[in-house]
Amino acid sequence: MNLEQARFNMIEQQIRPWEVLDTQVLSLLAMVRREDFVPKIHRDLAFADLEIPLPPHSHPSQCMLSPKVEARLLQDLAVQKHERVLEVGAGSGYMAALLAHRAAQVISLEIEPSLAAMARENLQQAGIDNAQVLVADAAKPLADSHGPFDVIVLSGSVAELPEHLKGRLAVGGRLAAIVGTEPVMSATLLTRVGEQAWRTEQRWETVAPRLQHFPQPSSFRF
């Protein structure tokens, strides 16, 4: 496989048509080697328009999101060099790597210890030293030492925006999450505009695997 041609095709045929036009985001996708964050067994799928499963395969959320979804979340967040970022769902570390190139510091939480170890190794091999991967269940209230953050991104879907994560945003901070239930979910951008005030925007539609342990919507219907 010609990796550089495959990377170019991913950007031009998948990501640009999905309205990702921020030149800084596109340049970052061309620079960060996505294939180095993909399990070897799936290396040929590194640039495919699909979610790539990650070991130990015990939950659907253990995957890399499709490249176009990762890119558009990154574009929506518009991370700045001075900002502190929290990621929920480290996976293989690829999204943390993208964020780290744009932020001052990234803390990525991963519920699966073996995935956290993989993400740490991948980030180290990529020479990224401003991203830290911690084993934690982000569906539970975070330790007081975590936050406030300028940016929070959920690398997976939730039924509704988590209140305890909203409270970890600094004023002016943004939280990006894929919210809702199948067959249609909305990529949602929450901005904290005051101490007790938030603005919510539904940006685009997609579907993503559910993050573990976050509340599920009630199945009861009248």
Kindly report, residue by residue over 82-103, the tens digit of the pLDDT. Answer: 999 999 999 999 999 999 999 9
Q: Does any domain span residue 46?
A: yes
Q: Does any domain span residue 60?
A: yes
Q: Does any domain span residue 220?
A: no
**Do 163 and 152 form a contact (C-beta atoms < 8 A)?**
no
Catalytic residue from among 61, 66, 108, 155? 61
Say how many domains are in the chain: 1
Q: Does any domain span residue 18?
A: yes
Which SS3 state, helix, strand or coil, does residue 124 take?
helix
Residue 222 in this model has a pLDDT that exceeds 50: no
Q: Which domain holds residue 83?
A: 3-206
How far separated are the first and last CA of the chain, in Å rounded? 54
CATH number of the domain that residue 11 is part of: 3.40.50.150
Q: Does any domain span residue 211?
A: no
Q: Model pTM?
A: 0.94
**pLDDT by residue (tens digit) across 111-142?**
999 999 999 999 999 999 999 999 999 999 88
Establish whether 61 is a catalytic residue.
Answer: yes
Q: Does any domain span residue 23?
A: yes
Alpha helices in the chain (DSSP H): 3-9, 23-31, 67-77, 94-102, 113-125, 163-166
Q: How many CB atoms lie within 10 A of CB 82?
A: 9
Q: Does any domain span residue 179?
A: yes
Q: Does any domain span residue 216?
A: no
